[in-house]
Structure 1
Amino acid sequence: MDIEATKNYCRSLAGVSEKVCAAPANVHVFYVGDKQFAWFKTSQPEQGRLSIRTAAERFLELTDQEGIKPARYMQRFHWISISDLTSKESGFIRMLIDESYQKAFSNLTKKTQKNIKSVNS
């Protein structure tokens, strides 16, 4: 799965918005409601690196895999980074994005969750 296909998949999820942050952050962030669930690095080094949140119990399992490492500054919140998306199967990437999205979605207020569900019904 390439970077654009991954971004398009993020955009296809319910209630998603996005924001491109310039220097010094240099990231393209995807939100559900007001919660981040994925971001891409937009500058060198590691341009195109995907960072997503994972469950605490999966963090060590995932970071033991080649090409996946703890996300810089965000590892304490169980965020991981994948530097080369093409090295992983697209189904695996989608599954990780879905998990991150669901984790962010579950942290929204019930009212916001209901509004997102009703818009996409």
Structure 2
Amino acid sequence: MDFERAKALCRSFPGATEDIKWGADLVFSVGEKMFAVTNNDSPANGMSFKVDDERFLELTDRPGIIPAPYLARAKWVYVEDGKALGDAEAEALLRRSYELVFAKLTKKLQREIGEPA
């Protein structure tokens, strides 16, 4: 997983915004709801994102992926080692994180943003 490539992907999603929270964390959101978090370093050296409930245990059993601090109860994982995921799988997981969060937005807000690509 190339964290810089992952950040570029997050920026490409419809309605995605980014801002700095908690002093040093770069947060990607849609409809003001977070779907991915990384540090603001360049290059970044880790990333957290939401996953499907049924994938949480599978992913956190892999070396280099742990339950995300403070967000594990909401089924977020933290990829601490880029070698834990290939770029294609990372892209699919980030897209799914965006979709999971987008689906929780109001129908009105979903229409305003547009359908996920």
Q: What's the TM-score once normalised by structure 2's chain length?
A: 0.88
Q: Deviation string for 1:44-78 (max 9, x for gaps)?
A: xxx62100001111111111111111001111110
**How far is 1:22 from its partner?**
4.9
Structure 1 portions without partners, runs of 5+: none
Bigger shift: residues 13-22 or 95-104: 13-22
> Tell me, what secondary structure is at the counterpart of 1:30?
strand
- 1:42–1:48 Cα contact (<8 Å) kept: no
Q: For 1:53, which of 30, 50, 68 is the aligned residue? A: 50
Quote the Cα distance in structure 2 between the aligned partners of 1:22 and 1:82: 19
Instruction: Please tell me the residue identity of whatever aligns with 1:79.
Output: W
Q: For 2:27, which of 26, 29, 33 is the aligned residue? A: 29
Quote the Cα distance in structure 2 between the aligned partners of 1:42 and 1:14: 22
What count of residue pairs does the alignment treat as equivalent? 115
Structure 2 portions without partners, runs of 5+: none
Quote the Cα distance in structure 1 between the aligned partners of 2:82 and 2:99: 21
Residues 1:83 and 2:83 are matched in the alignment: no
Bigger Rg over Cα: 1
- 2:63–2:84 Cα contact (<8 Å) kept: no
> Tell me, what secondary structure is at the counterpart of 2:63?
coil
- 2:64–2:83 Cα contact (<8 Å) kept: no
Instruction: Please tell me the residue identity of whatever aligns with 2:20.
Output: V
What is the RMSD computed on CA atoms of the aligned residues?
A: 2.0
Query: Where has structure 1 moved over 4 Å in runs of 4 or more?
Result: none
> Tell me, what secondary structure is at the counterpart of 1:36?
strand
**Percent of residue pairs bearing the same amino acid type:** 37
